[in-house]
A and B are shown apart, each in its own frame.
Chain A
Amino acid sequence: MDDRAALGRAILLMMGGIILQTTVINRLQEPFFGFSPNLVVVLTILSARWVHPRAALLLGFTAGLFLDLLGGGILGLRALVLTTVAYAAVRATSELPLRSIVGVWPISLLAEVVLFVVGTLAGRGTLLQAELLQRSIVVPLLNLVLAAVLFPLLARVLKPRERRIPL
């Protein structure tokens, strides 16, 4: 029951994350060397700590699919990237909060690499190739900072509540 409640809250958070990403965060490029943090990637990684592994994978896949549907890109590209992100997060998840936060950096880097490789194979090389190196450095770092800010909030929202045993 707790798992389901956490999943429901994770789905709502993810929907909010997609809306914020497309309307607000993607505009915040000027202060961050022309790049913006990826809230959806961060939410996918951190959610894997509290929801069931299978649910985390489906959450990542669905979030990616919605990003594909809302954008003009290839359907399935972001779904694949975020599924990979969720799988890496599930495999790397840890009880230690600090390790979960720091883990956002390598998994975000992985997301950039997978996006570049699969995007190039799918014919989106021109766009994705531009400033690849800077992007691979800046975006994971921005995601890391975002994860550190969001972790306490997510812990509060997604952590299963302990049931009080009646005396």
Chain B
Amino acid sequence: MRLRQGRDNPTFVFIVLVLVSFVLMTFDAQRTEQAGFVGILRNGAAALFGPVQRTVDFVADPVFEFVSGVASIATLRQQNELLVRENEEFRARIQEVSRLELENEQLRALLDLESQLELETIPIVADVTGATEDGGLLIAKGTSDGVVIGMPVLNESQLLIGRVVQATEQQAVAELLIDATDAVVVDTPEGVTGVVTGTGRVGELRLSVEFGALYVPEGTVFTTAGFGLPRGLQVGYAEQELVPLGDTIIDARITPFADFSRLPRFVLIVPVLERPGDDPAPEEPAEDVPVEESTDG
């Protein structure tokens, strides 16, 4: 009887549910891959809500586009004037770039270098059906379409915007670069190598260079340096010069190239091919010594 009273008590139920939540969090934090019980649960939730989400998105998307278009008429005029001025500037620059391209081609031929930015596989094009509570993208393609956790996600302008962090059969979730807790390794043509993480703000990324930092001039472009991502994808640029602290460390903010203020309508998910030299080679285990499986997430 006392137990029954306890079960009827909201405080008792609350404590039980809080404990269950903590157990789930602990269980989820220890998972190493998108499989097992959690994977089945996520697949089930996606199967339950996915079709309705896609239908609602199909209806809501044109409405959003229309409202967004109407709402931005005033700013569009201003932007138009700005773009006309920029266009004139770019015309002047194109001539200079053409000359530099020619020179670049000649130098490449001389050094027999291959272009660093070449997507060697066909990207998966997927509709964006919505956003998660954490600001991630809900993508309408999943493992059945070849999407795998860790794949880089590009926007319509082919700029890196995030990585796939969850994939069920029918849909996937991409964590945006600006929200990313997992670091993206970047480098510059000048040889500065660092890691970029999100700050949660739309126009800001955090750049950390642990050692060997150099003075980074204003306008320096940071591109992906491999390590699980294709090399050479543009990530962000330094809006102002970055001066190393104590001559070795940089902890600064850079500006992303991609526009994170609105959701893209579709994304490109890029299968990554392993390239020699992208990742540091793991140490070879000694003979007859069993290799333990990695427990890293």
Instruction: Enumerate chain A interface residues (CB-CB to B < 8 A).
Output: 15, 18-24, 26-27, 30-31, 34, 53-54, 56-58, 61, 64-80, 83-84, 86-87, 90-91, 118, 122-124, 126-131
Asked if B200 and A26 sit within 8 Å, CB to CB, the answer is no
CB distance from A57 to the nearest CB of B (A): 5
In the complex, the answer to whether B130 meets A79 with C-beta atoms within 8 Å is no
Query: How far is B13's CA from A54's CA once the two chains are assembled, in angstroms?
Result: 7
Q: Are B199 and A130 in contact (CB under 8 A)?
A: yes
A113 CA / B211 CA spacing, docked (Å): 36
**Which chain A residues border B129 with CB–CB below 8 Å?**
23
- Interface residues in B48-107 by Cβ distance below 8 A to A read 49, 52-53, 56-57, 60, 64, 68, 71
B90 vs chain A, min Cβ distance (A): 28
Given B29, B49, B131, B199, which contacts A18 in the complex, CB threshold below 8 Å?
B49
Q: Which of A15, A30, A57, A127 contacts B134 (CB 8 A)?
A: A127
Task: Name the B residues within 8 Å of A129 (CB-CB).
Answer: 200
**For window 246-284 of chain B, which residues contact chain A by CB distance below 8 Å?**
261-263
Docked-complex contact A23 and B56, CB < 8 angstroms: yes
Q: Are B14 and A27 in contact (CB under 8 A)?
A: no
A57→B263 contact, CB < 8 A: no
Across the interface, which residues of A come within 8 angstroms of B35, CB to CB? Answer: none
CA distance A122 to B21 in the complex (A): 12
* B17 on the A face (CB < 8 A): yes
When distances are taken between beta carbons in the complex, the residues of chain A under 8 Å from B175 are 72
The one of B20, B60, B138 in contact with A70, judged by C-beta atoms closer than 8 angstroms, is: B138
- Beta-carbon contact of A26 and B181 below 8 Å: no
Question: Which B residues lie at the A interface, using CB under 8 A?
Answer: 8, 10-11, 13-14, 17-18, 20-25, 27-29, 38, 41-42, 44-46, 49, 52-53, 56-57, 60, 64, 68, 71, 129-136, 138, 165-166, 173-175, 179-181, 197-202, 261-263
Q: How far is the CB of B207 from chain A (nearest CB, A)?
A: 14
Please, how many angstroms separate the alpha-carbon atoms of A15 and B80 in the complex? Answer: 43
Whether the pair A76, B22 counts as a contact (CB closer than 8 A) is yes
Q: Which of B24, B57, B181, B261 lies in contact with A124, CB distance below 8 A?
A: B181
8 Å CB contact of A61 from B21, B134, B136, B202: B21
Query: Which residues of the other chain, A, contact B263 by a CB distance below 8 angstroms?
Result: 27
- Inside 8 A of A57's CB, which chain B residues have their CB? 10, 13-14, 17
CB distance from B170 to the nearest CB of A (A): 12
Give Cα A21–Cα B129 distance, bound, in whole angstroms.
12
Instruction: From known contacts A54-B13, A127-B181, A131-B201, infer whether A71 and B21 are also in contact, taking CB-CB under 8 Å.
Output: no
In contact, B200 and A128 (Cβ under 8 angstroms): yes
Inter-chain pairs besides A57-B14, A71-B132, A83-B18, 12 sampled, C-beta below 8 Å: A23-B53, A23-B57, A23-B138, A26-B130, A27-B60, A30-B261, A72-B174, A73-B132, A86-B14, A122-B25, A127-B181, A131-B201
**CB-based nearest B residue for A34:** B202
The reply to whether B25 and A19 form a contact with Cβ atoms under 8 Å apart is no
- Say how far B184's CB is from chain A's closest CB, in angstroms: 13
Chain A neighbourhood of B57, CB < 8 A: 23
Complex CA gap A55/B88 in Å reads: 65
Q: Does B200 contact A126, Cβ atoms closer than 8 Å?
A: yes
B198 contact from A75, A86, A127, Cβ within 8 A: A127
Q: How far is the CB of A118 from chain B (nearest CB, A)?
A: 8
Can you report 5 A-B residue pairs in the complex whose CB atoms are below 8 A from each other?
A15-B49, A19-B52, A26-B133, A57-B10, A77-B25
CB atoms of A66 and B49 under 8 A apart = yes
Q: Which of A22, A23, A31, A75 has the most chain B CB within a 10 Å cutoff?
A: A23
In contact, B56 and A19 (Cβ under 8 angstroms)? yes
Do residues A30 and B262 form an inter-chain contact, with CB atoms below 8 A? yes
Q: How far is the CA of A164 from the CA of B13 in the complex (A)?
A: 35
**Complex: how many Å from CA A94 to CA B282?**
62
